[in-house]
């Protein structure tokens, strides 16, 4: 009981002392989180969902990663495009996409079944396979890489279509 009375007494004295300073008393302000973005984004629609993913770092820690490894000349005959989106704080969706094309701009086609889109938004954790033949069109191949996509997604023998645009900065 004595500890509670002491705590209340000390709190009251601190409050009364702080009130006497008038308008010149500094008000403690909690600084906002330091957030930054390099301008990369992915807009994607599928089913009834629309995700707008913008790369974001909070207090120096990357929380949403939207990036391409690059568009590079994989062999003498084709170019390869890699794109990855990882959403750690909200855990809404992830995208891992690899596609090939005949030039550094234009249509890049998914040629194997290693590309996936994972939807966490409704708590279902659905992993969609991105179908072979899905197309990513790159309209600008130097940074910022810009383009759009038309993806066919498969989940449990059901087909869904996803499309929209992206911009990737290094």
User: pLDDT value at position 130?
Assistant: 96
Q: How far apart are CA 70 and CA 99, in angstroms?
A: 11
Q: How far apart are CA 102 and CA 139, in angstroms?
A: 14
Q: Average the pLDDT over 106-129 and give the result.
A: 90
User: pLDDT value at position 101?
Assistant: 92
Q: How far apart are CA 84 and CA 64, in angstroms?
A: 10
Per the structure, the complete domain to which residue 163 belongs is given by 34-168
Mean pLDDT for the chain? Answer: 78
Number of domains within the chain: 1
Assess if residue 163 is contained within a domain: yes
Assess if residue 154 is contained within a domain: yes
Residues 57/67, Cβ–Cβ less than 8 Å: no
Q: 95 to each of 14, 90, 153, how far by Cα in Å?
A: 53, 14, 12
Assess if residue 16 is contained within a domain: no
Pick 123 or 64 by higher pLDDT: 123
pLDDT at residue 96 is higher than 70:
yes
User: pLDDT value at position 43?
Assistant: 84
Tokens for 138, please give them. 């790159």
Percent of the chain residues topping a pLDDT of 90: 29
pLDDT at residue 145 is higher than 60:
yes
pTM of the model: 0.71
Assess if residue 6 is contained within a domain: no
């Amino acid at each position: 009981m004595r500890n509670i009375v002491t705590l209340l007494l000390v709190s009251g004295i601190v409050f009364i002392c702080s009130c006497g300073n008038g308008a010149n008393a500094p008000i403690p302000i909690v600084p906002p989180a330091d957030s930054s973005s390099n301008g990369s984004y992915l807009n994607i629609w599928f089913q009834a969902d629309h995700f707008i993913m913008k790369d974001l770092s909070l207090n120096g820690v990357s929380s949403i990663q939207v990036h391409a490894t690059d568009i590079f000349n994989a062999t003498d005959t084709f170019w390869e495009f890699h794109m990855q989106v990882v959403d750690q704080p909200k855990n809404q969706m992830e995208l891992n996409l690899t596609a090939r094309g005949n030039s550094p701009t234009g249509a890049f086609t998914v040629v194997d079944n290693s590309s996936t889109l994972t939807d966490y938004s409704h708590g279902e954790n659905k992993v969609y396979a991105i179908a072979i033949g899905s197309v990513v069109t790159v309209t600008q191949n130097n940074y910022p890489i810009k383009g759009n996509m038309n993806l066919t997604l498969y989940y449990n023998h059901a087909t869904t279509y996803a499309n929209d645009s992206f911009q990737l900065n290094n």
